[in-house]
Amino acid sequence: MPHMIPAPGAFALGVAIFLIVVWDAFEAVILPRRVTRRFRLARLFYKTSWRSWKFVTRLVPSRKTREALLGFYGPISLLILVGVWAVGLVFSFGLMQYGAGSAVVMTGAQPSFLTDLYLSGTTFFTLGLGDVVPHSAIARALVVTEAGFGFGFLAAIIGYLPFIYGSFSKREVNISLLDSRAGTPPTAGELLRRHAYPHGNEALRELLKDWEFWAAELMESHLSYPVLAFFRSQHDNQSWIAALTAILDTCALVKVGIEDACQRQADLTFAIARHAAVDLSQVFKTPPRALPHNRLPAEDLRRIRDTLAQHGTKLQDGPEADRKITELRNMYEPYLYALADYLNQSLPPWIPAKKGKDNWQTTAWGRSAGLIEKEAAAIASEEHF
């Protein structure tokens, strides 16, 4: 065997790089479960690149431009990671060819490490140029093996990308639907206020049931494919973290006590949504942190109670109710705050600070839907006459 591999060190290094890259791609693309191993190539890539990306975006003065750049990170990082895997595989097979003695013949040039890398690249991407030919058994075996992995790699990526974008689209549907139900950004106080109508509790029960499934799907998809967490929503004032927080806030209020409300469904939705928040914080290594300010001061809680009372809904009052809601908040707020800070997002308030327009009521030109309707009616009236 030694005479077949003149440079065993280079060959072994190539094998090691190959195994690291293949196993990392397998865990990221194919394995549908959370990986707890400390060292991972993909984790190292995202940890360093996200930190650098956030640092650069913070230098941009325009908030809108910063949000746009942060929105680019998810898709771009996914493509770069695929490129890193591809380069790693090409480099590993080039090292193995070099360790095997550069047993290749190249038209008009002498064999070298660059020649081995060139052969590896053309083989991996199945170009088949034919200007570099292996002439030993081990070199031919490496070429055939690399060609097979090249086909497999491309097939896995072709199947991986549509799934990622399908999961992202599925996640965003409910976030968009929440716009007309809980305001923009979504808040628990606004969600309960908009369901304070006859038979509104039944609609609220159905909504919380839908969000129970949404939280379970969020946990399943984002634990298996954490890159989804970096994909941001279409609108700057919406995010999956804000939506998850608003639903947990709503469940907390219902659990504290709203007469004739859906406490049992609130319990179920709160459990799975809190589970998702905690597990995702573990994936991103973001331990729970105390919030720098109180998201629900006493005056805001009083506003929520008064607003709901004006619409015929009574929220339990008193020290016991306040203590219970504080306990519930401590079960999820520190985890979501740590996640939001890491992903450069923000948690929504419990109640809108001021009356504003939802996303569906505005247009890209900054005009409200009501104004557009008036203009359209005026034009129609002029055409009629």
Q: Which residues pair with 134 in a beta bridge?
A: 104
Start-to-end C-alpha separation, the chain = 96
Task: Output the CA–CA distances (angstroms, integers) from residue 259 to 110, 210, 315, in the order listed.
Answer: 85, 22, 7
**Separation CA 274–CA 369 (nearest Å):** 36
pLDDT at 376: 44
SS3 state at 338: helix
pLDDT at 238: 87
Residue whose structure tokens are 């919380």: 208
Q: Region 264-289: what's the mean pLDDT?
A: 94
Reported as type and span, the H/E element at residue 229 is none
33 pLDDT above the threshold of 80: no
All domains in the chain, ordered by first residue: 8-158 (1.10.287.70), 178-354 (no CATH)
242 pLDDT above the threshold of 90: yes
Q: Region 209-238: what's the mean pLDDT?
A: 91
Q: Region 302-322: what's the mean pLDDT?
A: 87
Instruction: Tell me the pLDDT tens digit for each residue of 119-156.
Output: 888 888 877 777 788 888 888 899 899 888 888 888 88
311 pLDDT above the threshold of 70: yes
**Separation CA 197–CA 177 (nearest Å):** 19
Q: Region 8-14: what's the mean pLDDT?
A: 90
Q: Region 82-87: what's the mean pLDDT?
A: 92
Q: Rounded to two decimals, what is the model's pTM?
A: 0.83
pLDDT at 199: 82
CB 352 within 8 A of CB 183: yes
38 pLDDT above the threshold of 60: yes
